[in-house]
Structure 1
Amino acid sequence: MKYRYVIIGAGPTGLGAARRLSELGEKSFLVLEKNSWAGGLASSFTDSKGFTWDIGGHVMFSHYDYYDKMIEDVLKGEYIEHLRESWVRILQSWVPYPFQNNIRYLPNQEKWECVRGLLPGERSEDKPNNFLEWIHSIFGKGIAKHFMEPYNYKVWATRPENMSFSWIGERVSVVDLRSVLKNILLEQDQLSWGPNNKFKFPLKGGTGAIFKNLAETVSEYIKYDTNVAVIDPQAKTVTDTKGNSYEYEHLLNTGPIDILASRWLATPSTQLINAAQALKHNSVIVAGIGLSSSKPDSRCWMYFPENDNPFYRITNFHNYSPNNTPQPGKGRALMCEVSYSNDKVIDKNNIMREVEDGLVNTAMLKEEDRKDIISRWSINVDYGYPIPCLQRDEALKVLQPALESMDIYSRGRFGGWKYEVSNMDHSVMQGVEWAERMINAQPETTYRIS
């Protein structure tokens, strides 16, 4: 069957595109989804014990009126609003996030190392060539040593010297000596930095409830359990693994662009294959530890730069909604994220034991709390985060124009491969803006091809 638009993937970007096409009166489109559910990396799952888990620590905050109105429409007010409270576990103590703004909590020796690194003449004034050099030029050697270097390696599973810094934007709070000294001497915290200092979360069903509800509004256009096998840009067809073929005029891909370019295209050029292979990503295991016991703890999430544990972040998921535990408002749901790659190898067979031990090592649990663990849930996410590696921008300059010349558009966290515009709101709006470009010739603003 022929469609004007075929969309690969019913995650945030694909659903954003589908919703907007429908709103604009378009009826000739189809969404192909490999899973039997919608949501992609923003899906949620309920385990056998009744705990709800997300694929990582998603929160709702927004840069767009359209997205805000969409959330209100699909959740119908069924959400909770939170003020962010996040901390960094370091040197057997806790420092409020952002770490670099609150080093007054450190022991004196480490506090001095961080301040010394910010003094005049201590930081390089040369233009940085990579993320590591950017860290040292902005934060100095002390903050780099104690937090920025170990934490970023832990989350990206990539050495900072192999990464660009073009993605930073509002993702990292920069710091100045005046503010650091003021906070130390006046013993005051600086906590409200960042766009997610206030966020929303669905009352029921985890983050996945957003996209489950959104998918229901365009359900007639979604074909589930459909895996892409081949895309023929000459014939303008997508063939799935069952042999079904779908003809299109314009194709939106929201799956990984490296897979699209090197595996799905019927006859990919050597140039496209090489560009696809230059892209890097990490993988993530999300490990959920559910406990029957409760404990007062107002924190939303915590960061872990040190090596006495395998995770880079833990979310107190029971704080996001009382319905994330089997008995609403009772018990604890500790959602832990562990990254890995060829450069950061982990023992996947023993990761749950290492996570559990890490919870004890970091004082998230006491040894005697182990007896209260009633659920151990995990999911292995092959494509966790697109890494802004040094080769990324040049690779995308090859891939995106070549694909668009074939009427193939690639958007979303891995479809566009730009971490700096892959929040949930960004991802949805990439789909929305693509649809508006197709129907009304409006330029896209969230995802730009340079």
Structure 2
Amino acid sequence: MKTRYLIIGAGPTGLGAAHRLKELGADDYLVLERHGHAGGLAASFRDDAGFTWDIGGHVVFSHYAYFDALMDSLLGEERLEHQRESWVRSHGSWVPYPFQNNIRYLPREPRWECVEGLLPGNRSEAAPENFAQWFEHIFGAGIARHFMAPYNFKVWATPPELMQFNWIGERVSVVDLRKVLKNIILAQDDVAWGPNNTFKFPLHGGTGEIFRRMASLQGDRIRYGQEVASVDALAKRVTTLDGLEVEYDVLLNTAPLDRFVAEWMASPDSALVEAASGLEHNAVHVAGVGLDIREERERNSRCWMYFPEKDCPFYRVTNFHNYSPNNVARPGEQLAFMCETSHSAHKPEKIDELMDRTVAGLVNTSLLDQSRVDDIVTRWETNVDYGYPVPTLSRDASLRAIQPRLEELDIYSRGRFGGWKYEVSNMDHSVMQGVEWAERMVTDTPESTYSWE
């Protein structure tokens, strides 16, 4: 089999690329997907109890007019819009997000420690060299100790000392001492920060419904159940475990870059393999816990919650019943807690114990009363080996070594793990990486979302 454009992966980036190629009239393309479904990490699943679950907490917000128009065409009116309401559980209190802007909710002693760390002369003025030094430099010792350090280790499963901070951009709200003090003294909240302070969500089918609909437009251009076994970059040929051989002119890879280089490439370049060893990632266990609502007090309007402390394994819980009433089997009558726990060599977890620990954590953090544990009607879980690409100190050097060499071979690697840049791996970013790659191939338009430089 021969095709001009071969795409590995029918996740957001691969589907974005296929969609745009088709729009541009470049019809000679094929997508290989190892699973029997599309969506990648943005897929959704319906369990035996009738609950729908995502692979973690996805929300739809956008930086791009093209992406907005695409969502309009795919979902139309079949989506809901929400005002973000997110909280941090700390010291037995619920603190509105961003934590650093709303420390007035903390008990007095940690509240003072957070303010004290922000006072003139208490923050290091030396230029930070890693993420841990950066958040002490920006937020002071108190906020670092009570939130930034423990939370970031829980979510990344990587010591912040091993991470860079250039990725941060709009993802972390920095802090202003005057604003912090004003919020405390005037007892006012500051919760509107961030690009996702409003977001949308499909009415039916979870986040995966978006990509099911995108994939349905591709027909037989997507070959499911075709996991890549090898890539012969010189012969420009991909072979799958199922025995399918596809020759190509140009290859778009959206699978994990480290695996592509170290495991799939025939006669791999030792320099590329060494560079790939500098790419680190975590894994994420997603546990869905569903139960019937017994009393009205069990409801709350929160969208999602962050958990920096050690009384639970998860770093985030999403009230998935609030995203769409159809995420539960009986809309309006059930709760769906979607809980995420990271793990890695730096932070090992016993996967077979995580569901029980998750339920205990829901009790410890007041989301679930102990008397309700026996009322749980569904426990759904999945573990993904590649959860987040970690922006380590070695990442950028690895990408600068790998990506130009691949492009010399007409291989382009994009997407959350194909591009390995967390800062451009939101849903909109990921789709647009594929769209912009297609435009570069067909119209020679430069890409703007992804760069390794």
In 2, Cα distance between the equivalents of 1:176 and 1:126?
A: 19
- Per-residue CA deviation, residues 315-363 of structure 1 (Å, 9 max, x unaligned), is 0000000000011221000000000000101111111110000000000
- Per-residue CA deviation, residues 357-402 of structure 1 (Å, 9 max, x unaligned), is 0000000000111122000000000000000001000000001001
In 1, Cα distance between the equivalents of 2:64 and 2:36?
A: 29
Q: Report the TM-score when normalising by structure 2.
A: 0.99
Match of 2:65 in 1: 65
Match of 2:264 in 1: 264
**Residue type of the partner of 2:230?**
V
- Range with greater deviation from structure 2 (304-313 or 236-245): 236-245
Match of 1:117 in 2: 117
Match of 2:387 in 1: 384
- Per-residue CA deviation, residues 167-219 of structure 1 (Å, 9 max, x unaligned), is 10000000011110110111100000000000000000000000000111112
Report whether the alignment pairs 1:427 with 2:430.
yes
Match of 1:24 in 2: 24
SS of the counterpart of 1:117? helix
Match of 2:196 in 1: 196
Match of 1:355 in 2: 358
- Per-residue CA deviation, residues 102-144 of structure 1 (Å, 9 max, x unaligned), is 0011111111110111111111111110000000000000000
SS of the counterpart of 1:95? strand
Match of 2:255 in 1: 255
1:371 to 368, 371, 374: 374
**Residue type of the partner of 1:357?**
A
CA contact (8 A) 2:396 2:452 kept: no
Match of 1:441 in 2: 444
Unaligned runs of 5+ in 2: none
Match of 1:167 in 2: 167
Match of 1:401 in 2: 404
**Residue type of the partner of 1:172?**
V
In 1, Cα distance between the equivalents of 2:244 and 2:306?
A: 46
**What is the 5 A alignment of 1:43-82?**
43-82=43-82
* Matched length: 450
SS of the counterpart of 1:183? helix
SS of the counterpart of 2:170? coil
Report whether the alignment pairs 1:320 with 2:333.
no
Moved over 6 A (4+): none
In 1, Cα distance between the equivalents of 2:300 and 2:375?
A: 17
In 1, Cα distance between the equivalents of 2:406 and 2:291?
A: 48
In 1, Cα distance between the equivalents of 2:224 and 2:334?
A: 35
Match of 2:101 in 1: 101
**What is the 5 A alignment of 1:220-235?**
220-235=220-235
**Residue type of the partner of 1:215?**
A
CA contact (8 A) 1:293 1:372 kept: no
SS of the counterpart of 2:230? strand
Match of 2:419 in 1: 416
Report the CA distance between 1:269 and its aligned residue: 1.0
CA contact (8 A) 1:17 1:435 kept: yes
Match of 1:306 in 2: 309
Unaligned runs of 5+ in 1: none
- Per-residue CA deviation, residues 254-306 of structure 1 (Å, 9 max, x unaligned), is 00000000011001111111111111000000000010225321000000000
Q: Percent identity?
A: 62
SS of the counterpart of 1:355? helix
**Residue type of the partner of 1:300?**
C
In 2, Cα distance between the equivalents of 1:246 and 1:348?
A: 37
Report the CA distance between 1:30 and its aligned residue: 0.1
Q: Report the TM-score when normalising by structure 1.
A: 0.99
**Residue type of the partner of 1:223?**
R
In 1, Cα distance between the equivalents of 2:52 and 2:129?
A: 42
In 2, Cα distance between the equivalents of 1:27 and 1:93?
A: 56
- Per-residue CA deviation, residues 38-97 of structure 1 (Å, 9 max, x unaligned), is 000000000000000000000000000000000011112200000000100010111000
In 2, Cα distance between the equivalents of 1:99 and 1:397?
A: 35
In 2, Cα distance between the equivalents of 1:46 and 1:327?
A: 13
SS of the counterpart of 2:258? helix
Match of 1:42 in 2: 42
CA contact (8 A) 2:254 2:418 kept: yes
**Residue type of the partner of 2:205?**
G
Report the CA distance between 1:220 and its aligned residue: 2.6
**Residue type of the partner of 1:94?**
W
SS of the counterpart of 1:306? coil
SS of the counterpart of 1:334? strand
In 2, Cα distance between the equivalents of 1:300 and 1:220?
A: 38
- Range with greater deviation from structure 2 (312-321 or 217-226): 217-226
